[in-house]
A and B are shown apart, each in its own frame.
Chain A
Amino acid sequence: MHSFGYRANALFTFAVTILAFICAIASFTDTLNSPSPTVEVKVLNINWFQKQPNGNDEVSLTLNISTDLQTLFTWNTKQVFVFLTAEYVTPKHALNQISLWDGIIQSKEHSKFTITTSNKYRFIDQGSNLRGREFNFTLHWHVMPKTGKMFANKIVLPGYRLPEEYR
């Protein structure tokens, strides 16, 4: 009954149970945080806007993104994955989400910033529906904890429009 093996087993089981419990508490404390990030996006320039030989529209933008994500960080936050999508509806597609830019933020100190960038991923439609198209920018964030449940949310910035003509 009281062999070395049994004692080691009991100790190990106890340690794992406590560890799991602490991880669960750490994950739970994240739900007590109510973040309020802010974002502003400006289209500085439309670099080019054309139809590819295969018939899909493609546009290249220069964007100015300024955001404050400091409230997302808690003691259980490993990183925040933040990305900006263009989202729009066309007669052919009920939903289009296209990532234009993304970033990995690993500390609170780096979570308030302004950048000017052209789109990191290509803005290509499945078809030729971008001329004069209304779209919104959406800033999404996915919070990855040190352990436990992942959180995600977004801010939608409506009211942008692409030009009527290729350029």
Chain B
Amino acid sequence: MGWVSDTVHSVKSIKFREALTQVITLGLVVTSALIIWKGLMCITGTESPVVVVLSGSMEPGFQRGDILFLHMNNHPIRAGDIVVFNIDGRDIPIVHRVIKVHQRQDTQETYYLTKGDNNDMDDRVLYNHGQNWLEKKHIMGKAAGFLPYAGWATIIMSENPIVKYILVGALGLLVLTSKE
């Protein structure tokens, strides 16, 4: 009976090694994606180096589904810059253009007013009640470049989570089952 248990043992060990290789491959894919993302964060100096445009308020410049590359360098923000900002207490960042700037002499504190190119009104209607100006702390980054349509996958996935689960599941399965 010795050869049976030997065979079982060897089969088991092969399966185990293969599975381990697959897990490591999957881990490598995930970590390299993370390294690229964190590396971009370091280079651009902003928390989210890439954002997807969600609304049509900057048309015809940016359309829903376009990808924007952000950066946050030492150049001060001036009128005309397209900034991504977050209003206190709200989750979704907004991409709009700065139309007014006031910089204080004493504190160097700077106040900004923004507007969407395609909107009739400035953004005071979007800000919190009683808030007239944006400050530096609200601004996540400045748009530096853009890639059309590339963000549609993200929009589809965030609006239909099922698609995301199917896609992630299928990819995971593919990585785990693929043989050299």
Name A142's contact: one of B80, B103, B105, B145 (CB within 8 Å): B80
Chain A hits for B105, CB < 8 A: 91-94
Name B104's contact: one of A93, A98, A99, A142 (CB within 8 Å): A93
Given A140-B80, A147-B146, A152-B80, answer yes or no on A78-B61 (Cβ-Cβ < 8 Å). Answer: yes
Contact code string B119-151 (vs A, CB < 8 Å = 1, else 0): 000100000000000000000000111111000
Asked if B99 and A121 sit within 8 Å, CB to CB, the answer is yes
Least Cβ distance of A5 to chain B in Å? 8
Q: Which of B81, B105, B108 has the most CB of A within 10 A?
A: B105
Of A43-51, A59-67, A79-87, the stretch lying at the interface with chain B is: A79-87
Bound: A99/B79 CA distance, A: 7
Asked if B103 and A93 sit within 8 Å, CB to CB, the answer is yes
Q: Which of B103, B110, B122 has the most CB of A within 10 A?
A: B103
Name B144's contact: one of A23, A92, A149 (CB within 8 Å): A149
Contact code string B77-89 (vs A, CB < 8 Å = 1, else 0): 0111110000000
Q: Nearest CB to that of A23 among chain B residues?
A: B147
Given A126-B111, A140-B79, A140-B80, answer yes or no on A99-B99 (Cβ-Cβ < 8 Å). Answer: yes
Least Cβ distance of B179 to chain A in Å? 10
Q: Does B101 contact A (CB under 8 A)?
A: yes
Q: How large is the interface on B (under 10, 10 to 19, 20 to 34, 35 or more residues)?
A: 20 to 34
Asked if B148 and A147 sit within 8 Å, CB to CB, the answer is yes
Residues on A close to B: CB < 8 A?
A: 5, 23, 27, 78-79, 81, 83, 85, 91-99, 102, 104, 106, 121, 126, 140, 142, 144-150, 152
Among all A-B residue pairs, the 7 with the closest Cβ atoms = A99-B99, A97-B79, A95-B103, A97-B101, A140-B80, A149-B145, A126-B102
Residues on B close to A: CB < 8 A?
A: 60-61, 78-82, 97, 99-106, 108, 110-111, 117, 122, 143-148, 174
With A5-B174, A81-B97 given, can you name 13 additional A-B contacts, CB distance below 8 Å? A94-B104, A94-B108, A96-B103, A97-B78, A99-B99, A104-B60, A106-B60, A121-B99, A140-B80, A144-B61, A147-B147, A149-B144, A149-B145
